[in-house]
Chain A
């Protein structure tokens, strides 16, 4: 547990940019840990001379923050209008089937975390998904299944 607190402390105290805020501190923790544990809320509050409520208000506003540890690999699929028009829905269906989840969330084995995203920023290559921040454009349902198999997603259980 001390290891965790130390990592949080370092992430919060060693931000390189001059302007340090609750949001920038939380983003630094997220970069380090992949999530915002309660210990980080305490540290960010103390460091920014804010209350725990102030910090939770920011954590709960931005959907990129999660409060539980993520899976080993993070999968994001875009459902925004650009991707929707050229086949995002079949890709999302294939991804859900491949990871065995009914909706966005974490696989029980802790390997994958799946999130829907409103825009991954490469609309000219729609539909787009990403694995561990690595973008994959013009993806088909078949390719999505194959890519995820490389990351340990098994066939859906009956």
Chain B
């Protein structure tokens, strides 16, 4: 017998109380992909062994990503009723010291702590956070100071494998609210009012998209959640699923309720074990507690959800290619029309949203669309979830209100470029988004502002390059990526990418000719005109944007036969792939 929502909440609150103010300390370790890559597994093991050696008791939980990826492995220690203390870049040896001092003696290691957070939450409000001795408030760290966490509200704070921790932090409240007091049309109206736009790249109005599906009278309709996320430099979709999969499950349920759909898929690239395992566990728990399946929370709303995997294919993130992959075929885009809202996966009406888009929905429904619409900048409401990587001091994942200046993001929030070097350019919105020169970064976070500047805010990836980076070299790698990932369906893209890569390799080898720039433009125009999906249509962006900002550098390679940064003289290669 599934619990009622009140029973679920009561159970959740009791468990949360025991964790944060019970009889033993709570240790949280970030083990998302970023944490694992930094060695978090060895730290968890060292913590466990050290506890046993000291015969001490503590609850160790593996959590997702707090966003401070540069500080991973990040260990968060909370003594009952006390503030959380965060230790950055912890080694297995330091794990032993943390147990010996903080857990056994109750004395935080002030010298090696990054900061602390108020006793029971990690939210953006810093006013209620006490200081633990001389430890700085973690919410004053440049990466957190200007954050407003909506989709990431639980990331790094809760155990993603424990549905009760999600429920204790307001989880499934919006679903309960919708099922007991709102019609599907009223849920849709709140999403409409919120101004929410798709965070997968195209920034299409979510409410409008949902209305297309809601308007279909077909008996079987689908909601698809896209976590293909093959963009180099973007990891926020995986980050959300690894950190807080239930917020996505709840968002999908609300989308189904609003549009009259009863079946959903969460689509993830195979091989990313962390996000896959955690999402599958969340779906199973939701079924166990009657939050998925028949008559959810005792209502007459039923919804089934499963995780579908794709093989390695960047283009399978394109919405119609994604449907092909769910159906088990080669991930190649379909012709449109018919559009997915009429004929989608398995021939049925379908709505596709990105992970981030759906992760906002529970809070929008719980707090009202007007609340969300009040955050942000003009037509770009809400927040941007950015992934900061490359030549920046603080790399990681931040959620900032739209409207913040990109220069503040780069120089203040991300801490600028390491080693006192100059920023040369940034690459945003995935490989197809192209590059922006450092002198063109005086922009605010806003879909239209970015588009007018010739860039794409897209899914929020920002890769920074310093003065030592060669513009030709990076353009070649971006095109190599696009060549490798072309699905091969449209020949202007399939052959155009290979041809562009040949020309760029020639220029990198300092063997390019004066006609090569015009040749590339010609190829690019054909790709744009003759390709079915964005991969080919936008595939020339890396070259055209690099030429816009760094024409002189291409000239130096071609006419002076030299690479100003010297990058092209060091060994390089570009892998190639034909998807036969």
* A residues adjacent to B (C-beta < 8 A): 17-19, 21-27, 48, 57-58, 60-65, 79-86, 89-90, 92-93, 104, 116-126, 128, 133-138
A158 to chain B, nearest CB (A): 20
Please state if B230 and A119 are interface contacts (CB–CB under 8 Å): yes
Please state if A125 and B270 are interface contacts (CB–CB under 8 Å): no
Q: Mark B303-341, 1 if CB is under 8 A from A, else 0.
A: 010111111111000000000011111110000000000
Within 8 A of A (CB), among B527-580: 570-573, 575, 577, 579-580
Please state if A17 and B33 are interface contacts (CB–CB under 8 Å): no
Please state if A137 and B474 are interface contacts (CB–CB under 8 Å): no
Among A27, A48, A61, A124, find the residue whose CB has the most chain B CB atoms closer than 10 A: A124
Please state if B270 and A27 are interface contacts (CB–CB under 8 Å): yes
Smallest CB-CB A-B distances: 3 pairs: A21-B328, A62-B311, A137-B37
User: Chain A residues with Cβ under 8 A from B329's Cβ?
Assistant: 21-23, 57-58
Please state if A85 and B328 are interface contacts (CB–CB under 8 Å): no
- Asked if B381 is an interface residue, CB under 8 A from chain A, the answer is no
User: Chain B residues with Cβ under 8 A from A80's Cβ?
Assistant: 232-233, 477, 481
Within 8 A of A (CB), among B465-507: 465, 469, 474, 477-478, 480-481, 484-485, 487
Please state if A81 and B36 are interface contacts (CB–CB under 8 Å): no
Complex Cα gap A87–B231 (Å): 18
Please state if B314 and A118 are interface contacts (CB–CB under 8 Å): yes
- Asked if B87 is an interface residue, CB under 8 A from chain A, the answer is no
User: Chain B residues with Cβ under 8 A from A58's Cβ?
Assistant: 311, 328-330
- Asked if B387 is an interface residue, CB under 8 A from chain A, the answer is yes
- Asked if B422 is an interface residue, CB under 8 A from chain A, the answer is no
Please state if A118 and B272 are interface contacts (CB–CB under 8 Å): no
Within 8 A of A (CB), among B205-232: 229-232
Residue in A22, A63, A104, A135 whose beta carbon sits within 8 Å of that of B36 in the complex = A135
Residue in B69, B271, B306, B312 whose beta carbon sits within 8 Å of that of A18 in the complex = B306
Interface segment out of the listed B171-179, B369-377, B388-396: B388-396
- Asked if B447 is an interface residue, CB under 8 A from chain A, the answer is no
**Interface residue tally for chain B (C-beta within 8 Å):** 71
Complex Cα gap A14–B57 (Å): 40
Complex Cα gap A114–B573 (Å): 16
Please state if B481 and A128 are interface contacts (CB–CB under 8 Å): no
Complex Cα gap A86–B389 (Å): 10
Closest residue of chain B to A62 (Cβ to Cβ) is B311
Known A23-B325, A63-B311; further 9 A-B contacts with Cβ < 8 A: A23-B309, A23-B329, A63-B579, A64-B270, A86-B390, A119-B230, A123-B389, A125-B34, A126-B390
Please state if A122 and B571 are interface contacts (CB–CB under 8 Å): no
Residue in A17, A65, A118 whose beta carbon sits within 8 Å of that of B307 in the complex = A17
Please state if A121 and B235 are interface contacts (CB–CB under 8 Å): yes
- Asked if B86 is an interface residue, CB under 8 A from chain A, the answer is no
Among B33, B37, B484, find the residue whose CB has the most chain A CB atoms closer than 10 A: B37
Please state if A21 and B327 are interface contacts (CB–CB under 8 Å): yes
A113 to chain B, nearest CB (A): 14
Please state if B477 and A84 are interface contacts (CB–CB under 8 Å): yes
Please state if A61 and B387 are interface contacts (CB–CB under 8 Å): no
